[in-house]
Copies of this chain bind each other. A is one copy, B any other.
Amino acid sequence: MKNKVPIPSLERLCSIYHILEQLEKNGTEKVSSAQLGKELCVNAYSVRKDISYFGEIGNCRAGYEVSRLKEHLKVNLGFDIARTICVVGLGRLGCAILDYGLLPESDFSIVAGFDSNINKLETIHTDIPLYPAHEIVTVVKRKKIELGVMAVPGDAAAETARRLSDGGVRGIVNFSPAVIKSQNNVFIRNMDLVGEFRILSVLTN
């Protein structure tokens, strides 16, 4: 059933989930598809269709109950299952992520950091265990790490992706500018800043 939901819908549903978290914090109890659509800059039809991929949940007169819908999405999107993450490349960006990632509110936990420079590992102050990059495969296997973040230079990207895949991660967030070839059904999400600038540059021509 999960396979039938289009990826753009899944992306919107993740955003909807975030909005619901905010609404719940504010104490808002009810929300309509029109309101959600306004927040997301999409129309209400899309919101309703996206939500209904996971079955009926709304109330026809009063819209959606915020906390109920949030829990509903949480279960169906699998956010109730904790995920383990590792970060490869501990430059400024990688270290910022190590810190950032410890936020307790999400069900993600960073359980390992890697860098090819062994001397650098000594100088980083964190509670997260750090390892040299050549141990990626064994550590990822041993700890059953599910997701990886790559904050390495472009020329190290292909090798890093291969190691993460060989270790058995199921998804990679790639901050390097390199285009990564997916292997072993690993999902890749690219977060390339210069790439994003370029796309914006084209869109605003």
Residues of A within 8 A of B (CB): 2, 7, 10-11, 13-15, 17-19, 38-41, 77-79, 81, 83, 85, 91-93, 95-97, 99-101, 103, 106, 108, 146-147, 149, 170-173, 177-179, 181-182, 187, 189, 191, 193-205
CA distance A92 to B97 in the complex (A): 9
In angstroms, Cα B126 to Cα A92, docked, is 15
Q: Are B173 and A187 in contact (CB under 8 A)?
A: no
Please, which residues of chain B bring their CB within 8 A of the CB of A97? 193
What is the count of identical protomers in the complex?
Answer: 2
User: Quick check: A198 and B100 within 8 Å, CB to CB?
Assistant: no
Residues on B with beta carbons closer than 8 Å to the beta carbon of A177? 18
Identify the closest chain B residue to A14 (Cβ). Answer: B198
Verify A179–B15 contact, CB threshold 8 A: yes
CB distance from A77 to the nearest CB of B (A): 5
Contact of A11 among B106, B178, B199 (CB under 8 A): B199
A146 CA to B171 CA, complexed, in Å: 33
- Closest CB in chain B relative to A71 CB, distance in Å: 15
- Hey, which chain B residues are within 8 Å of A108, CB to CB? 194, 197, 201
Which 7 A-B pairs give the minimum distances between C-beta atoms? A171-B200, A170-B204, A92-B96, A78-B205, A189-B196, A14-B198, A187-B203
Contact A77 B193, beta carbon cutoff 8 Å = no
How far is it, in angstroms, between the C-alpha of A202 and the C-alpha of B41 when the chains are bound? 22
Q: Which of B172, B179, B204 contacts A171 (CB 8 A)?
A: B204
